[in-house]
Amino acid sequence: MQGMSERQYAAHVGLSRGAIQKAKTAERLVLYPDGSINAAASDAKRAETTDPSKTRKPPAPKLKPVPEVAVAAVGDTLREQGLAVPAVGGGTTFLQAKTANEVLKAQERRIRLQKLKGELIERARALSLLFRLAREVRDAWVNWPARAAALMAADLGVEPAAMQKVLEKHVRAHLDELAELRPDFR
């Protein structure tokens, strides 16, 4: 056999064997004397004789649009792990998205494990503990001038009441400055 069989040519051009048989009957294929199909010559002849409006084009794959937030999250995750991040508008490959997904799952498991071990606590509880600690520190500083003023006054040779008044003024001024600080827990 010099050329291709009907089945081989059908696979070559992506058509059914029936379509190849119809083209053969309509003499749109070039055949060798043994009846096999000359692929190169038949491709050229089919291109000349086939009406482009009647050819079927494979349907475009239907892809759901991916929200920009999700793409940005993938980029952030990849960046945190020191991996290559696609350029803005360059699109994220499936492999990059899958890698980011696996990294996120591993991070989630690590956080869950840390909670189980007691290494992590809820944010609300941490804020409550921090607030209570700050209040205790503030109360200790407010009470300190009354305890330390008499000892300092004796060392300096001044009146204890005046010393306590000056210490309280400066400690309260400093505590007012500290009260303006707002921690950022993001």
Q: Are the beta carbons of 171 and 141 closer than 8 angstroms?
A: yes
Instruction: Say yes or no: 113 and 129 in one domain.
Output: no
Beta-carbon contacts of 81 under 8 Å, excluding residues fewer than 6 positions away, are: 103
Are residues 31 and 77 both part of a single domain? Answer: no
- Is 29 inside any structural domain? yes
pTM (two decimals): 0.40
Q: In terms of residue numbers, what domain contains 30?
A: 6-51
Q: Which of 82, 77, 2, 67 is nearest to 34 (CA)?
A: 2
Q: Does the residue 1 lie in any domain?
A: no
Least confident of 72-76, 84-88, 158-162, 164-168: 84-88
- Report the pLDDT averaged over residues 132-143: 91
**Is the residue at 127 inside a domain?**
yes
Q: Is residue 42 part of a domain?
A: yes
Instruction: Report how far apart the first and last C-alpha atoms of the chain are (Å, whole number).
Output: 75
Residue 127 is predicted with a pLDDT of: 85
Question: Is 85 inside any structural domain?
Answer: yes
Q: Is residue 77 part of a domain?
A: yes
Do 131 and 109 reside in the same domain of the chain? Answer: no
Are 49 and 34 a contacting pair, CB within 8 Å? no
Q: Which two tokens stand for residue 19?
A: 């379509």
> What is the arithmetic mean of pLDDT over 151-172?
92
Could you write out the three-class secondary structure of 66-100?
A: CCHHHHHHHHHHHHHCCCCCCCCCCCCCHHHHHHH
Query: In this model, does residue 62 exceed pLDDT 80?
Result: no
One domain for residues 138 and 101 = no
Q: How many domains does the chain have?
A: 3
Q: What is residue 39's predicted lDDT score, i.e. its pLDDT?
A: 93
In this structure, are 127 and 174 located in the same domain?
yes
Is residue 134 domain-shared with residue 165, that is, in the same domain? yes
